[in-house]
């Protein structure tokens, strides 16, 4: 087990500086344009693929860093550049992690390369869980997968919503109900291969922030996929369902919710994205406060401004510490006895909203315009308290964990 450390090692510093360079030189200069266009920034993703940032190898390397700091450090730097573009770069990772976590070696080897494509022909992937009537309440999911034994095929019907890269993805990972009696224990994940008939993009959402990231509905009408597209395989699913039915029958013994453990481990990464946006806005505000003069002196000479900056920086550093702690715990298999993953996401996302609003205030009228990036950063920051579980859901998870109550 790696000791918890707040100091990046030389190799990590090198990676951080390399990512920061890409964020500063490639992502940030393109941010305003793609925000206005509200389209996936394919040329930027391609640039990221060329230098090796858009690839499974890169994320796997960061993910398996035993200090736990690889992923949060990478997310912070990329999202410092721009949240919408960075989400377009890392969004495929959400689907890839779904396959890595539940897939067989063969499924991992077959599908993950098709999610990324290559630098000459980049592809993206989508992870589709949320539905119009199943957001925070995942158990009310309705998308249904039925096994056609005669053909060894699964038939999927339903509508997914809010899918990052939904409809434009080469590979979609879809969560569907296989046994409606079992609530969230009766769900399974499926690969929908490229160009499968019956899958189409529904509404593409026009959003408040992260507008360079594509978000859309995904409609599944009699989508037929081979049995081999069930992640983990049929035998494993049957065993899992049999265990869940047994437990439901005996009404007894609560099992640790594996999905919740996964969320605890993935939420710090969203916290790190929020830290990146917050830091970017803070740096803009600090620079502005040092150079903007009113009443014959820089505005930072006023305690009213300086104290805001002091609070902003303190909260960003506190958020990063929570994120790093939770990431270290996840990588080193520490139990999340106080929902530390949720804590980190809650605090970092609320900090990003607050800090970006303060940055607008410090820039005055300029902060309110699209001539300065803090306006975009404030719009972008709003997403962190919503996706991967809203702030209310994080509080619910933390409170229930502290109380020793089940989280469904
Ligand atoms: C830009 C964007 C990208 C996304 N990307 C993806 C993706 O790639 N894949 C995917 O599957 N999903 C994705 N999502 C979906 C996201 O995870 C959901 O929006 C989120 O989980 C909230 O669900 P909801 O929008 O249905 O809100 P609801 O669940 O309807 O919540 C509405 C409000 O009620 C509150 N609330 C609900 N239940 C409780 C409770 N028990 N106690 C207290 N308050 C409660 C919530 O906190 C919230 O404030 C994305 C969403 C957005 C906006």
**Residue range 269-274: mean pLDDT, rounded:** 98
- Please tell me the distance between residue 394's alpha carbon and the centre of ligand 1 in angstroms: 11
Asked if the model's pLDDT at residue 286 lies above 60, the reply is yes
pTM: predicted TM-score of the whole model, two decimal places:
0.96
- Please tell me the distance between residue 393's alpha carbon and the centre of ligand 1 in angstroms: 9
Task: Tell me, yes or no, whether 52 and 137 share the same domain.
Answer: no
Cβ atoms of 112 and 76 closer than 8 Å = no
- Please tell me the distance between residue 221's alpha carbon and the centre of ligand 1 in angstroms: 24
CA distance 94 to 192: 15
**Is there an atom of ligand 1 within 6 Å of 393 CB?**
yes
Task: Tell me, yes or no, whether 162 and 112 share the same domain.
Answer: no
Choose the final residue of a domain: 228, 250, 272.
250
Asked, for residue 1, whether it belongs to a domain, the answer is no
Does 388 participate in catalysis according to the annotation?
yes
Cβ contacts of 85 within 8 Å, gap of 6 or more? 27, 30, 31, 34, 41, 44, 212, 213
Q: Of ligand 1's atoms, which has the minimum distance to the CA of residue 165?
A: 8
Domain harbouring 109, CATH code: 1.10.540.10
CA distances from 403 to 334, 397, 407 (A): 19, 10, 11
Q: Of ligand 1's atoms, which has the minimum distance to the CA of residue 390?
A: 47
Per-residue pLDDT band at 257 (split at 50, 70, 90): low
Asked, for residue 374, whether it belongs to a domain, the answer is yes
Asked, for residue 370, whether it belongs to a domain, the answer is yes
Asked, for residue 375, whether it belongs to a domain, the answer is yes
Task: Tell me, yes or no, whether 266 and 285 share the same domain.
Answer: yes
Per-residue pLDDT band at 255 (split at 50, 70, 90): very low
Asked, for residue 30, whether it belongs to a domain, the answer is yes
Mean pLDDT of the chain: 95
Task: Tell me, yes or no, whether 266 and 381 share the same domain.
Answer: yes
Cα 285 from chain centroid (whole Å) = 26
Per-residue pLDDT band at 249 (split at 50, 70, 90): confident
Q: What residue's CA is closest to ligand 1, atom 32? A: 136
Q: What is the pLDDT of residues 139-156, one digit of tens each?
A: 999 999 999 999 999 999
Active-site residue, selected from the candidate residues 131, 340, 350, 388:
388
Of the candidates 16, 65, 88, the residue with the CA atom closest to the CA atom of residue 327: 65
Asked, for residue 3, whether it belongs to a domain, the answer is no
Task: Tell me, yes or no, whether 48 and 21 share the same domain.
Answer: yes
Task: Tell me, yes or no, whether 155 and 191 share the same domain.
Answer: yes
Which of 192, 379, 386, 407 should be mutated for ligand 1, with most atoms under 8 A from CB? 386
Task: Tell me, yes or no, whether 242 and 320 share the same domain.
Answer: no
pLDDT at position 251 is: 66
pLDDT at position 407 is: 81
Per-residue pLDDT band at 253 (split at 50, 70, 90): very low
Number of structural domains the chain divides into: 3
Cβ atoms of 234 and 190 closer than 8 Å = no
Look at 101 and 120; give whichever has higher pLDDT.
120
Domain harbouring 243, CATH code: 2.40.110.10
Q: Of ligand 1's atoms, which has the minimum distance to the CA of residue 164?
A: 8
Asked, for residue 267, whether it belongs to a domain, the answer is yes
pLDDT at position 258 is: 57
Cβ atoms of 202 and 196 closer than 8 Å = no
Asked if the model's pLDDT at residue 163 lies above 80, the reply is yes
Can you give the residue range of the structural domain that contains 217? 125-250
DSSP 8-state class, residue 404:
T
Choose the final residue of a domain: 194, 218, 250.
250
Cβ atoms of 322 and 274 closer than 8 Å = no
Q: What is the dihedral of CA 143, 144, 145, 151, to 10 degrees?
A: -120
- Percent of the chain residues topping a pLDDT of 90: 89
Domain harbouring 394, CATH code: 1.20.140.10
- Please tell me the distance between residue 267's alpha carbon and the centre of ligand 1 in angstroms: 14
**Is there an atom of ligand 1 within 6 Å of 400 CB?**
no
Task: Tell me, yes or no, whether 52 and 147 share the same domain.
Answer: no
Asked if the model's pLDDT at residue 295 lies above 90, the reply is yes
Task: Tell me, yes or no, whether 74 and 160 share the same domain.
Answer: no
Task: Tell me, yes or no, whether 321 and 390 share the same domain.
Answer: yes
Pure H helices in 103-233: 105-116
Pairing of strands 144-148, 153-164: antiparallel
Pure H helices in 332-390: 340-367, 374-381
Burial of 323-339, coded b for 16+ CB within 10 Å and e otherwise, reads: bbbbbbbbbeeeebeeb
**Residue range 319-347: mean pLDDT, rounded:** 95
Q: What is the pLDDT of residues 35-59, one digit of tens each?
A: 999 999 999 999 999 999 999 899 9
Q: What is the pLDDT of residues 44-100, one digit of tens each?
A: 999 999 999 999 899 989 988 999 999 999 999 999 999 999 999 999 999 999 999
- Please tell me the distance between residue 57's alpha carbon and the centre of ligand 1 in angstroms: 30
Asked if the model's pLDDT at residue 254 lies above 60, the reply is no
Cβ contacts of 294 within 8 Å, gap of 6 or more? none
Choose the final residue of a domain: 205, 230, 250.
250
CA distance 31 to 45: 13
Q: What are phi and psi of 176, to 5 degrees?
A: -140, 160
Task: Tell me, yes or no, whether 129 and 103 share the same domain.
Answer: no
Can you tell me whether residue 215 is helix, strand or coil?
strand
DSSP 8-state class, residue 160:
E
Task: Tell me, yes or no, whether 397 and 291 share the same domain.
Answer: yes
Asked, for residue 357, whether it belongs to a domain, the answer is yes
Per-residue pLDDT band at 398 (split at 50, 70, 90): very high
């Amino acid at each position: 087990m790696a000791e918890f450390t707040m100091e990046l090692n030389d190799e990590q510093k090198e990676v951080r500086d390399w990512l920061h360079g890409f964020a500063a030189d490639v992502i940030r200069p393109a941010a305003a344009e793609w925000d206005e266009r509200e389209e996936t920034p394919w040329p930027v993703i391609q640039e990221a693929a060329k230098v090796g940032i858009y690839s499974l190898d890169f994320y796997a390397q960061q993910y398996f860093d035993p200090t736990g700091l690889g992923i949060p450090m990478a997310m912070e730097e990329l999202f410092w550049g721009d949240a919408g573009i960075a989400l377009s770069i890392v969004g495929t990772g959400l689907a890839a992690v779904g396959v890595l976590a539940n897939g067989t070696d063969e499924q991992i080897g077959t599908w993950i390369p098709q999610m990324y494509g290559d630098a000459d022909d980049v592809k993206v992937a989508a992870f589709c869980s949320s539905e119009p009537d199943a957001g925070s309440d995942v158990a009310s999911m309705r998308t249904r997968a039925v096994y056609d034994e005669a053909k060894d095929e699964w038939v999927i019907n339903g509508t997914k919503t809010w899918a990052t890269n939904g409809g434009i993805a080469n590979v979609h990972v879809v969560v569907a109900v296989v046994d409606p009696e079992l609530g969230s224990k009766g769900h399974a994940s499926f690969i929908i291969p490229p160009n499968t008939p019956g899958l189409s993009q529904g509404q593409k959402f026009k959003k408040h922030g992260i507008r360079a990231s594509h978000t859309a509905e995904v409609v599944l009408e009699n989508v037929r996929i081979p049995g081999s597209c069930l992640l983990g395989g049929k035998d494993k699913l049957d065993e899992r369902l049999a265990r869940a039915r047994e437990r439901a029958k005996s009404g007894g013994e609560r099992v640790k919710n594996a999905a919740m453990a996964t969320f605890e481990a993935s939420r710090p990464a969203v916290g790190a994205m929020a830290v990146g946006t917050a830091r970017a806005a803070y740096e803009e505000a600090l620079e502005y406060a040092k150079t903007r003069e009113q009443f014959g002196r820089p505005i930072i000479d006023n305690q009213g401004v300086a104290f805001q900056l002091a609070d902003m920086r303190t909260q960003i550093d506190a958020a990063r510490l929570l994120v790093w702690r939770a990431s270290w715990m996840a990588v080193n298999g520490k139990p999340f006895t106080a929902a530390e993953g949720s804590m980190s996401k809650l605090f970092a996302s609320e900090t990003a909203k607050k800090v970006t609003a303060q940055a607008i205030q410090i820039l005055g009228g300029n902060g309110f315009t699209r001539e300065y990036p803090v306006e975009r950063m404030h719009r972008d920051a709003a997403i962190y308290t919503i996706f991967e579980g809203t702030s209310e859901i994080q509080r619910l998870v933390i409170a229930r964990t502290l109380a020793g109550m089940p989280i469904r």
